[in-house]
Amino acid sequence: MQRSTLFSGLRRAGRSRAITVTAAALAGLALPLIGTGAASAAPSHWETYHDEWFAEVSFCSGPGLTISEQGFADGRFRTTTRGSDGLSYDVDRASFTDVWTNVATGEYATQVGSYQGGTHQVTDNSDGTLSVVIQYTRNLVIYNQDGQRISQDTGLFAFELLFDHAGTPADPSDDVFLEQVGTDTNTGLTADLCEVLVEAIG
């Protein structure tokens, strides 16, 4: 499932590279859709944000299954720089609510979640690219329309991404996502969102 409406909104808001990537990972967004924000690498104060989204999608390749997704997130983020090269590091924390509704039947499920994390390590590869390790903790709970908990996803998660820094390694605003390096690592409980929602409202 691709929560593209939410993350295009985050990009328009000018949030930085790692923040957008962190949020995208939490939502299961396909990485090639990730853009970069217009944030400066200069250290910042904590900034708050509120985002809302709505989308209607064909979900999990199920035959005839169309789901509307509506939700909101409230959080705060900041950017700092580290090292002699002034590379950008980001921290993001938020809580959010997501409601998925089967358009045909009206059945719905609600996810309530929170996360905190961001850039764990940035490496200038000296070839025009940056390797960025993202690490975060999250706690996500899904309830059916009767208010019963049907799934929980919690723990520490990390993954590594490769960016073209466009000749400006200290400025994330012009970075271009290239690929994910390796596989995700996680500790804790994980759930298959597709399976959970198809069972609950399919």
Residues of the chain with pLDDT below 70 are 1-43, 58-64
Indicate the number of domains in the chain: 1
Q: What is the pTM of this model?
A: 0.71
pLDDT digits (tens, 9 = 90+) for 114-169: 988 888 999 999 999 999 888 888 888 999 999 999 998 888 888 888 899 999 99
3-state SS string for the chain: CCCHHHHHHHHHCCCCHHHHHHHHHHHCCCHHHCCCCCCCCCCCCCEEEEEEEEEEEECCCCCCCEEEEEEEEEEEEEEEEECCCCEEEEEEEEEEEEEEEECCCCCEEEEEEEEEEEEEEEEECCCCEEEEEEEEEEEEEEEECCCCEEEEEEEEEEEEEEEECCCCCCCHHHCEEEEEEEEEEEEEECCCHHHHHHHHHC
What residues make up the domain containing 137? 4-201
Q: What is the pLDDT of residue 56?
A: 80
